[in-house]
Every structure is written in structure tokens, then in C-alpha cells.
Amino acid sequence: MQNIKSNLYECFHCKGEGTCRTGKDGASCAACIKRNELKGKDFVGLLCGSCGGIGKAEPLTERLNKRAAPLIAIFLVISLLVLVSWAAVTKSPYFSELLAFSSAIIGTVVGFYFSGKYGGT
């Protein structure tokens, strides 16, 4: 299992309770009704759609920071594999240089994500 630290803060939508009461007369709001995939307008006591009912939420910037590096790595590896495949199919005179360049970068990315230090086996 990966040891990822998450900074959770009190959810401002439900005031840390986990239950949405921000609608009219203490009912659940329209956003939480939609998040819980319900039809209608008058529901009371639904799980908060912002925090998922735990009363604590992770800020969007932290979620983006944790996901940006792996997404860039996936995009980089796939684009390099496509580039090498295209160079092989078209019999490019620069195929050997592209292969050497791409294999070093792909090897580094794969080695980082599958090493035991990051969270592999």
C-alpha cells in the first residue's frame, strides 16, 4: 500500500458534520442531492457531497498536486512510445537516436514508479 499523507480540513459545506443541512429549513442542498444521484427537491440528512460524509475534505490544490506528476509521466511514456513506433513504421533515418532518447526516459519513469521506494512491491 502506498503511504500517501493527506491533509484533511474541516468541511465548510457541512461544518464538519458529514450531513448536508445547507438547504432551505435544514434540508439538503441541490448539489448534495445531485451528488447522491436522487431525484426531487426535499431531502433531509443526505451525505455531504463535498466531503463524502466524513466531515473532512481535502483541498482541490492538494489533489491536483498529487495527480499531476503521474498523469504527466503517463502522457510522456505513451507519447514517446507512439513516436518510436511511428519512426519504426516510416523507417526514419533518426530511428536509432529516437530509440536511445526514448528508452532512457521511459526507463527512468518506469524505474521510479515501480521501485520499492515509491510504493511498488
Domain boundaries, the chain: 8-58, 65-113
Neighbouring C-alpha atoms within 13 Å toward the C-beta of 119: 6
Percent residues over pLDDT 90 in the chain: 31
Q: Are 81 and 105 in contact (CB under 8 A)?
A: no
Tens-digit pLDDT profile for residues 62-100 = 777 778 888 999 999 999 999 999 999 999 999 999 999
pTM of the model: 0.55
The pLDDT value given to residue 68: 86
55 vs 35: CA distance, rounded Å: 16
Tens-digit pLDDT profile for residues 30-71 = 888 888 787 777 888 888 877 877 888 777 777 777 788 889
Count CB neighbours of 57 within 10 A. 19
96 vs 25: CA distance, rounded Å: 70
Q: Are 50 and 8 in contact (CB under 8 A)?
A: no
State which amino acid sits at residue 18: G
